[in-house]
Homo-oligomer: A and B are copies of this chain.
Amino acid sequence: MTTTETTTTQFISSAQLLEHWQGHRNLTRRVIEMFPEKELFEFSIGGMRPFAKLAVELISIAGPALKGIVEGQMEEFSEEAFQPKTKEEILAKWDSETEVINHYFNQISEERFQETFNLFGQYEFPVYQNILYFVDNEVHHRGQGYVYLRALGMEPPFFWERFSL
């Protein structure tokens, strides 16, 4: 397969990808919200991180990574900047990052998605692959959150309801 062939047939536009991602973020938000306060910060299975830690990871990636891509910064990845003590803090930060993501994502051009970028000075891949990684990583960790909720005897939201309340 030639390079030309790999980039000529569009699968999805950037606006559609952003909408898709924000739909996932909406669902993840509802999963965070559903956890009882204590379990959000403490419950875990098999030595894994509690869901609050996973949420902080997601918050620490998306906005900062897009900012790095747009501004050409390669600062190291860090989760130190945000150390929430309550669910409310996590949800507030989640919501403010929604705007940060929209702001930076919309500044990335079609050509840029195909360019290689050394994300966080460590992950050198085409920009579109880095962004797909953010989405996939969120779906992956949220799937773990579903197991936590089930283990706590709670029914998680439907996986396909991305934009309902």
Chain A residues in contact with chain B, CB under 8 A?
1, 5-17, 20, 24, 45-48, 109-110, 113, 128-129, 131-133, 136-137, 139-144, 146-153, 159-160
Contacts of A110 in B (CB 8 A): 9-11
**Which among B147, B152, B160 is the interface contact of A144 at CB below 8 angstroms?**
B147
List 22 contacting pairs A-B, 8 Å CB cutoff, sorted by A. Answer: A6-B15, A7-B10, A7-B15, A9-B13, A9-B15, A9-B109, A10-B10, A10-B110, A11-B12, A11-B16, A11-B17, A11-B131, A12-B132, A24-B136, A46-B150, A46-B153, A48-B150, A133-B160, A137-B159, A141-B143, A143-B143, A144-B146
Interface contact A11-B14, CB-CB below 8 Å: yes
Distance in angstroms between the alpha carbons of A149 and B136 in the assembled complex: 19
Q: Give the Cβ gap from A53 to chain B, nearest Cβ, in Å.
A: 14
Task: Give the distance in Å from the alpha carbon of A91 to the alpha carbon of B5 in the complex.
Answer: 31
Instruction: Tell me whether B139 and A136 are in contact (CB under 8 A).
Output: yes
A132 nearest CB across to chain B (Å):
6
In the complex, chain B residues whose CB is within 8 Å of the CB of A149: 46
Partner of A45, one of B24, B45, B113, B128: B45
Whether the Cβ atoms of B146 and A11 lie closer than 8 Å is no
> For the complex, what is the distance from the CA of A76 to the CA of B73, rounded to whole Å?
49
Cβ of A129: which chain B residues have Cβ within 8 Å of it?
A: 20
Q: Considering the chains assembled together, what is the distance between the CA atoms of A116 and B151 in angstroms? A: 37
Determine the distance from Cα of A146 to Cα of B48 in the docked complex, in whole angstroms: 10
Q: How far is the CA of A151 from the CA of B144 in the complex (A)?
A: 12
